Amino acid sequence: MKRRLFIGDLHGCADELAELIHSFNFTSGNDSLYSVGDVIGKGPKPRETLTLLKKFNAKIVLGNHDNFCLTAAATPEKERSESQHHYLTSLGDVEELSRWLAEMASWPLYIEEPDILMVHAGLEPGVSQLSGMRRKIFFTIRTWDGKGEDLKSESNPPWFECVTMDKIVVFGHWARRGLIDLPKFKGLDTGCVYGRKLTGWCPEENRFYQVQARKAYAVIKGN
């Protein structure tokens, strides 16, 4: 049986990624790997994480941290913030950096399969076509205010309570909320970089695979 493994937010947790792939008994040529994005940022091994995903030919959607990196690269060097500078230098020398930037620039906002739709954060409620949804919402939304101005206030409902989809939507981006296991929505960000777990989900087995983080690499903030 061909299996797919969808993996939650990695944030440079390459060791945990390797362990998860191993525990899945991933077989190249048979199985397929997917990442919900936020591959880099906050965590210890961004280059190793990118390299592993590349090695296993993973399909990846763009996360807000990956997008942050693209924005940083598009900003003139003298105008870059400390944080933008840090993101770029974490991806190697100029030559390696430009390779990873080209990779990240090719990641789409969503990946659609016959039965599954993968995005980083979520979908825009009230818009029937994916092509009509605002770019930023795909990698930013947590909650819905009815307009799309405030995408994270916890006084508003989660976006997935405001969207109907014929496919199963797989996403990440909400570590504080943790694992979401609804029939049509699978939220896989279980805060590995914060010392919790890295989660994968296999639709063919309808099974979650989890790996414990080696340590807390960052402190959670916001929601």
- Binding region for Mn ion (CB under 5 A): 38, 63-64, 173
Nearer to Mn ion, 119 or 163 (CB): 119
Sequence length of the chain is 223
Distance, in Å, from the CA atom of 39 to the CA atom of 197, rounded to the nearest integer, reads: 15
Nearer to Mn ion, 64 or 199 (CB): 64
CA distances to 53, 74, 95, 215 from 21, rounded to whole Å, are: 10, 33, 28, 19
- Which of 122, 114, 115, 6 minimizes the C-alpha distance to 58? 6
Nearer to Mn ion, 31 or 213 (CB): 213
| Inter-residue contact 187 to 171 (CB < 8 Å) | yes
- Which of 118, 143, 77 minimizes the C-alpha distance to 201? 118
Nearer to Mn ion, 46 or 63 (CB): 63
Least CB distance to Mn ion at residue 138 (A): 11
Least CB distance to Mn ion at residue 20 (A): 18
CA distances to 89, 101, 121 from 96, rounded to whole Å, are: 10, 9, 28
Least CB distance to Mn ion at residue 159 (A): 13
Which residue of this chain has its Cβ atom nearest to Mn ion in the complex?
A: 173
29's torsion region: left (phi>0), alpha (psi -120 to 50) or beta? left
Q: How many helices (H) and strands (E) does the chain have?
A: 6, 10
Least CB distance to Mn ion at residue 155 (A): 21
CA distances to 2, 57, 71, 169, 221 from 13, rounded to whole Å, are: 26, 17, 22, 23, 18
Nearer to Mn ion, 31 or 67 (CB): 67
Least CB distance to Mn ion at residue 38 (A): 4
Least CB distance to Mn ion at residue 31 (A): 25
Nearer to Mn ion, 173 or 197 (CB): 173
- Please report how many Cα atoms fall inside a 13 Å half-sphere around the Cα of residue 62, on the Cβ side: 23
